Structure formats: structure tokens, C-alpha cells
Amino acid sequence: MPSVANLYIAKVRVQQEARPLFPDPLLQRLFGNQYLVEPHKKVENSLGSGVVVPGGYILTNNHVIQGASLIQAALPSGRILEAQVIGADPDTDLAVLKTDAKDLPVIPIGSMDKLRIGDVVLAIGNPLGVGQTVTHGIISATGRSKLGINTYENFIQTDAAINPGNSGGALVNAEGELIGINTFILSKSGGSQGLGFAIPADMALSVVDQIVRNGRVVRGWIGVSAQNMTRELAEILKTKENKGLVITGIIKDSPAEQAGLQPGDILTHLNGKEMRDSVEMMQGIAEIQPGAKALVQGWRGEQRIELSILIQERQPQTEPAPQ
């Protein structure tokens, strides 16, 4: 696949250690830095994969390039290009790279609406640094979430073999069209055990678009924590509603507090759309532009509630640890 690149990453670490003969903090305080070894640099090399998407940008995982000092993208044609990070989104574990090249081969994009469980897919990447490799499998599931990997999750699950080095590579359909960005595996051995996960192409390309336009991803926020409604919770809250989510906490002076939401409120709809769980709510709110108003509906005890909330921008979160 000409539009899938092997990525080679160099990370420079600066290390400084006390001399073994003078480890005592008191001596270091008395005699200062003369008893410290001069800082030395250590270069760590890693690898991954990337996909050339519309616009000529290279899309990959954030954990692949996080902390990189140098990134090289090697294409199947033999071209080796230096790449720079123009933006990253730790919440989805995606990053966008650019090169000086103007004529990179762009991968065609598949339709997410046509995805079906059982469809044949191919995973393309650079596993273990052996070079571009293609493995095949099927779509095992779609819409996977609550895996605790990213803040925003909506993964395609596949049994196509994915190994270290495949991260950031392409998951394509039988027509060779991009449907996902291979991101991580669940494995006890560290190698493929048929549980691979890819970020859907439409979600990934939306992140690319925002990073290219804004330099970052802008998401809506209302300032609540919530958990899914269950029959057990419905009994505790003495309500017949066992769908949606229950508000468990509200940040002071947040949009939710200003709108009148209270802990214990049950939310069932966002802008007229039913919310099945807290993941759907968080993703739905994230898609609303700051400054817009969102209408939430639900229950407070036996009373029906309908509140308008002024969306604010969600502040960037700390980066997740690489997988």
C-alpha cells in the first residue's frame, strides 16, 4: 500500500546523576554541582506506522510520536522523508505530521455507514520493524468503548494480527479504502491474540481537520461526572427510569451548575437524541461547539426536567501513557 508509511522515531533523553562517592544530600548542598556528572544525552529509538490522508498529511497515533526529537517516514516507494508534528490530540491518541513533499500518495477513504460485523479487513503497518506487512481478518465489533484507553472511544475491533509497530497504520476494507487507524491490542503476551482495535476513519479525519484548521481539537464541556443508569440505581433513586445516566458530580461554576443541573438528576436526551449511557453523553457534548446551547432532558425524582446549557470549551487533558 503506497500510502502507508513506516515511521522511525528518535527521542533524546538528558540524564544527570550524582557521583557514587558523594550521594549524600548534605555534601551536595555544601559543595554544589561539582560533584554531579555532566549531563549526557541518550537517544532512544522506536517505530510505528502512519497513513497519508487527504491534504498530504500523515496521520498516526500520538503515543507513537510523543516526545520525539526526530521523525522519519519511509514510504514503500523507497522515499525517506523527515516529518514534523503539527498537532496532537491525546484524548483520541491521534497526531498529525507534515513533510515538505507535495506529491504523496493519498489513501482512499471508505464509508463508515457500510461497515458490517464480519466484513473482511486488512491491517497494514510496520510490525516489529520488519517492514510493511499486511494481515487479514474480519470486523469483530464496532462502537467499542469503556476500554479505558482513550478519553473518547469508539473503536472498530478486528481479529487481524496487529503487533507492536502497527500502531498508526491503516485498517482498510476489501477495496483498499481506509476505515480505521490501528491503535492498540489487548494481549497477555504482548503479541497479537486476535483483539485489535482501530479508531474509525471518520473520527480520525475529523481530528485531522480540526488540528489543521485550529492547531488543536476544540470540544464542548459542561462540567459533570456521571454514571450509567441501572435497575439497581433506579431502585435507590426511587424512579422507574432505568435508561440514560445519572449525574454524580458537578464542578462549581460550570455550565451545568449555572443551568441548574443537580447531582442525582437523570438525563435521557441531548438535543432530542436519546442517550443510552455516559459515553454517548460525553461524546455528544464534545461535538457541540463552545458558545452553542444544548438542550438536556431527563428526570429529577418524579419530575420531568428540561434545561438549556451554554457549552464551554473543554480544556486539554494530560496525555495518556503510551500503549
Percent of the residues in the chain that have a pLDDT greater than 90, as a whole number: 60
What φ, ψ does residue 46 adopt, rounded to 5°? -145, 175
pLDDT in tens, 227-253: 888 888 888 877 777 788 999 999 999
Catalytic residues: 63, 93, 167
82: β partners: 72
pTM more than 0.75: yes
Level-2 CATH architecture, domain 220-313: Roll (2.30)
**Which set of grid coordinates corresponds to residue 253?**
461554576
Least confident of 52-66, 100-114, 136-150, 253-267: 136-150
Sign, Cα dihedral of 149, 184, 78, 70: positive
Which of these ranges, 48-62, 166-180, 239-253, 307-321, has the smallest mean pLDDT?
Answer: 307-321
Q: What is the pLDDT of residue 319?
A: 43
How far apart are the C-alpha atoms of 301 and 199, rounded to whole Å? 38
What cell numbers appear for 263 in the block?
447531582
Over the range 210-238, which residues count as b (16 or more CB within 10 Å of their CB) and which as e? bbeeeeebebbbbbbebebbeeebbeebe
**pLDDT greater than 50 at residue 195:** yes
The whole-number pLDDT of residue 154 equals: 85
Q: Where are the domains of the chain?
A: 4-98, 112-214, 220-313
pLDDT of residue 322: 35
4-98 and 220-313 in the same fold: no
pLDDT at 160: 93
Neighbours of 90 (CB within 10 A): 18
- 5 and 80 Cβ atoms separated by less than 8 Å: no
117-166, pLDDT tens digit by residue?
A: 999 999 999 988 888 999 999 999 998 887 888 888 889 999 998 888 89
Residues 166-171 have a mean pLDDT of: 94
pLDDT at 20 over 70: no
DSSP category for residue 167: T
Under 8 Å between Cβ of 167 and 130: no
Class of domain 4-98: mainly beta
Does the domain at 112-214 match CATH 2.40.10.10? Answer given as: yes
Residue 219 pLDDT class (50, 70, 90 cuts): very high
Backbone dihedral angles phi then psi of residue 207, each to the nearest 5 degrees: -65, -45
